[in-house]
Chains A and B, each alone.
Chain A
């Protein structure tokens, strides 16, 4: 009897411990970060007269999401370490929205709630994933806390898409935006993917598949539409649940698609895209070019859990990817030098975007700070209003841009990449400004 009671108690304790361990919403101390991150430390005490404020990071930082989120967070940390605003001491409050290694919308929403409840947090960089943003925008809107996403690309977050008004994401203050992004949207990224397929890979017949999530499906839908507009044919349109590891039946089905010369997979690496490509290679189909969006352009073949790493040596060949941000930043050599000096590794796809979002915050703080002083409530509200004001422009590592009334960047650039067998990494091919050079 005693042993049984002990077992029950022990089991209950283990359950509680497991639940706590698996939660991604545990507040992270501002001075530590996973992996190669070196977050700027808070001084033991702020210089006399300086107002202590915080910038929040809300990104997927662990598990299979780390190749996406960590380099982006590092961009924020780099900016905070290099740039200052007189009268303010800025530290980072970092949150991880990965649950069990995969981005998790409820965890993201809980993180933004925690950040909003901290009066010193004036601005949030994040999230990375569009479905996480769908969960977070209502929270930041209600709290009046400005978020800048370095990487969200689903158009529906800021504009009417699929018949859905973005105001449904802002039930508390529908006419007030608390969300902007420096990434270009998927209506252009999908077009870029189609451009690569048709004009770079010279494909005529494509198989289009998505991971059934917001970002992946939206991107694949745009690709399918624009590929057809260019003159290509979508032979089959498919959706594969994110939990899938056995793609053999889907890949076998490809063999029945006559004339197939391109596969486009909309989704993120943690949905299994790399595994799909490796299983394609195992079935001797690696000669068919493979296109992905920015959710899978997440590092070289040497980066653990990246798309190129999981696709394998055979699967990496003939792969193309897009990034919804400019590659040709104004001073790439300096940025890379600074990043490598701090983190001892190459910048990621969205490191400069993380840096750019931080610069938006710092410029807003510089503009409203002197008048608001130490009034944190007013600072948060005025920063939100400043960034939401589409008349302001920002000089950043990404170049000069502004946000429109919906919160979208004025930079409509998609960067194209292809796999380089020599470096075993993504190699920049070209970038296209869809404002100056729209798809016909």
Chain B
């Protein structure tokens, strides 16, 4: 029975990792209590800030972990794809002539749909182009070659934006009104709700794609054993290209989120936020998409907790110290790695 046909029988058997879900629920409760201790009445708002920040990092981290899982490459250019996605959003919004929040809901939905679509598609194409011309020729080269190439592509993208668009911080109009919604006991700003829901929808969509579609099964089988997948009829080049497309598209979505949530972008944010997102991917278990999401939310919470307790100055040190400690005691990351099997 081929790998692809096995997927069709597996479709009727949902496999919810209850231990993981339970562990995450407990962790969220503990995190809330820690935040409550520092923030008091602002605890709910800080908790939502942490979820939002984590959601942003998760969208970026997924691309890192997917690429590493399938070809064991740390795609250093991935952070720059996120940055380019934010500039695509900036250029679109300013070209459309918007300068602030859009209160007309259908118009807002339409504009956001177009901005997300264009950013995701364009970044997906950029991801595919980069894979085709910078990484594919080096697929069988020593590991260092594609790694250096990735760093080079990262610099190229940074400099294209630095020279071609802006060499300083750019203010981006926020289209979503910054109003507060009262949903029972929870008060949440519209933008936070949009970011969190969007990230969940995209992550669930990715999970469904990889587990319930033929292409997704091809991706998983290629990640598991490339040669075996090829023998079973999987088009490896096409599968890897699709992986890059999806990862880059998610990064493009994260770029739009960056502009709408924070109202700012800069040609260096790919390096900064990309570093945290890559850390999230490693923290959660490199190659593991669920792990990348978990790692991203861990980092989001660490950032908020450190600033809530007045240790914002130590933000980066706390995050990387956590990474080191986790890897010392659990080298495969929180949820374990998902990499290719070796003979």
Interface of A with B (CB < 8 Å)? 3-4, 7-8, 11, 14-15, 18-19, 21-22, 62-66, 100-101, 212, 236-241, 243-246, 248-250, 252-253, 255-256, 270, 272, 274-275, 278-279, 282-283, 304-305, 309-310, 312
22 A-B pairs in the complex with CB atoms less than 8 angstroms apart: A7-B149, A11-B145, A11-B152, A21-B159, A21-B163, A62-B167, A237-B310, A239-B313, A240-B313, A241-B312, A245-B272, A246-B262, A248-B49, A252-B42, A252-B45, A253-B308, A255-B41, A256-B42, A272-B169, A275-B169, A278-B263, A310-B264
Task: Assess whether A15 is in contact with B162, with CB atoms less than 8 Å apart.
Answer: no
Kindly state whether residue B98 has any CB partner on chain A within 8 Å. Answer: no
The CA-CA distance from A22 to B160 in the complex, in Å, is: 11
- Measured between alpha carbons, how far is A179 from B138 in the docked complex, in Å? 52
Q: How far is the CA of A274 from the CA of B315 in the complex (A)?
A: 20
Query: Is B338's CB within 8 Å of the partner chain A?
Result: no
Sample of 4 more A-B contacts, CB < 8 Å, known A238-B313, A244-B315: A101-B268, A236-B310, A238-B310, A252-B45
Cα A252 to Cα B145 with chains together (Å): 45
User: Which of B163, B174, B308 is close to A249, meaning CB atoms less than 8 Å apart?
Assistant: B308
Q: List which B28-86 residues lie within 8 A (CB) of chain A.
A: 39-42, 45-46, 49-50, 52-53
Contact B152–A18 (Cβ < 8 Å)? yes
Q: Are B42 and A255 in contact (CB-based, < 8 A)?
A: yes
Could you say which residues of chain B place their CB within 8 Å of the CB of A241? 312-313, 315-316
Asked if A312 and B272 make an inter-chain contact with CB atoms under 8 angstroms apart, the answer reads no
Contact B307 A253 (CB under 8 A): yes
Q: Does B20 contact A (CB under 8 A)?
A: no
Specify the chain A residue showing the minimal Cβ separation from B35.
Answer: A249
B contact residues vs A (CB 8 Å cutoff):
39-42, 45-46, 49-50, 52-53, 133-134, 137-138, 141, 145, 148-149, 151-152, 155-156, 158-159, 162-163, 167-169, 171, 174, 178, 258, 261-264, 266-269, 272, 303-304, 307-308, 310, 312-313, 315-316
Smallest CB–CB gap between A53 and chain B, Å? 32
B149 in contact with A11 (CB, 8 Å) = yes
The one of A8, A63, A238, A255 that contacts B168, using a Cβ cutoff of 8 Å: A63
CB distance from A399 to the nearest CB of B (A): 33
Q: Across the interface, do B156 and A7 meet the contact criterion of CB distance under 8 Å?
A: no
The one of B148, B168, B263, B308 that contacts A279, using a Cβ cutoff of 8 Å: B263
B312: chain A residues within 8 A (beta carbon): 238-241, 250
- By the criterion CB–CB under 8 Å, are A22 and B168 in contact? no
The answer to whether A310 and B169 touch across the interface, beta carbons within 8 angstroms, is yes
List the A side residues contacting B303 at CB < 8 Å: 246, 249
A299 to chain B, nearest CB (A): 12
In the complex, what residues of B have CB within 8 A of residue A15's CB? 148, 151-152, 155
Contact A8 B145 (CB under 8 A): yes
Residues of A within 8 A of B49 (CB): 248-249, 252
- B39, B52, B315: the one within 8 Å of A256 (CB): B39
Q: Is the CB of A7 within 8 A of B138?
A: yes
The one of B40, B159, B268, B307 in contact with A250, judged by C-beta atoms closer than 8 angstroms, is B307
Evaluate contact between B266 and A245: CB separation under 8 angstroms. yes
Which residues of A sit under 8 angstroms from B272, Cβ to Cβ? 243, 245
Q: How far is the CB of A203 from chain B (nearest CB, A)?
A: 21
Chain B interface mostly helix, strand, loop or mixed? helix
Q: Which residue of B lies closest to A310 (CB)?
A: B171
**Quick one: which of A212, A243, A248 has the most chain B CB within 10 A?**
A248
Bound state CA distance, A4 and B151, in angstroms? 17
Q: How far is the CA of A237 from the CA of B169 in the complex (A)?
A: 26
Give the nearest-CB partner of A256 in chain B.
Answer: B42
Determine how close the nearest CB of chain A comes to the CB of B141; give it in whole angstroms.
6
Q: Are A279 and B262 closer than 8 Å at their CB atoms?
A: yes
Residue of A nearest to B303 (CB): A249
Given contacts A100-B268, A239-B313, contact A252 B167 (CB under 8 A): no
Given contacts A3-B137, A238-B310, A256-B42, is CB(A64)–CB(B168) below 8 Å?
A: yes
B307 and A249: CB pair below 8 A? yes
Taking CB as reference atom, which chain A residue is nearest B45?
A: A252
Q: Are B266 and A18 in contact (CB under 8 A)?
A: no
Looking at A19, A244, A245, which has the most chain B CB atoms within 10 Å of its CB?
A: A245
Contact A282-B156, Cβ < 8 Å, known A7-B138, A253-B46: no
Chain A residue at minimal CB-CB distance from B135: A7
**Chain A's nearest CB lies how many Å from the CB of B227?**
20
Q: Decide if A256 touches B155 in the complex (CB within 8 Å).
A: no
For B313, list chain A residues within 8 Å (CB).
212, 238-241
B47 → chain A closest CB, angstroms: 10
* A275 nearest in chain B by CB position: B264
Flag if A66 contacts B168 (CB, 8 Å): yes
Given contacts A3-B137, A238-B312, A245-B266, contact A282 B168 (CB under 8 A): no
A249 touches B167 (CB 8 A): no
A278 touches B171 (CB 8 A): yes
B134 surroundings in chain A (CB, below 8 A): 7, 11
B179 CB to closest chain A CB (Å) equals: 10
The answer to whether B264 and A245 have CB atoms under 8 Å apart is: yes
The interface residues of chain A lying within 8 Å CB-to-CB of B258 are 245
Closest Cβ of chain B to A248, distance in Å, is 5
Q: How far is the CB of B204 from chain A (nearest CB, A)?
A: 24
Structural contact, A64 and B315, CB atoms closer than 8 A: no
Least distance between B106 CB and chain A CB atoms (Å) = 24
Q: B310 touching A14 by the CB < 8 A rule?
A: no
Pair A245/B156 contact, Cβ less than 8 Å? no
Give the nearest-CB partner of B152 in chain A.
Answer: A15
Give chain A nearest CB distance to B300 CB in angstroms: 9
Q: Which of B155, B159, B174, B269 contacts A245 (CB 8 A)?
A: B269
> Are A282 and B174 closer than 8 Å at their CB atoms?
yes
Instruction: Report B-chain residues with C-beta under 8 Å of the C-beta of A272.
Output: 169
From B133, which residue of chain A is reached at the shortest CB distance?
A7
Nearest chain A CB to B181 CB, angstrom units: 15
Bound Cα distance from A22 to B155, whole angstroms: 9
* Distance between Cα atoms of A3 and B272 in the complex (Å): 33
Q: Which residues of B contact A282 (CB under 8 A)?
A: 174, 178, 263
Q: Is the CB of B315 within 8 A of A312?
A: no
Q: How far is the CB of B168 from chain A (nearest CB, A)?
A: 4
Nearest CB of A to B267, in Å: 8
Chain A CB within 10 Å — which of B167, B267, B272 has the most?
A: B167
> Which chain B residue has the least Cβ–Cβ distance from A243?
B272
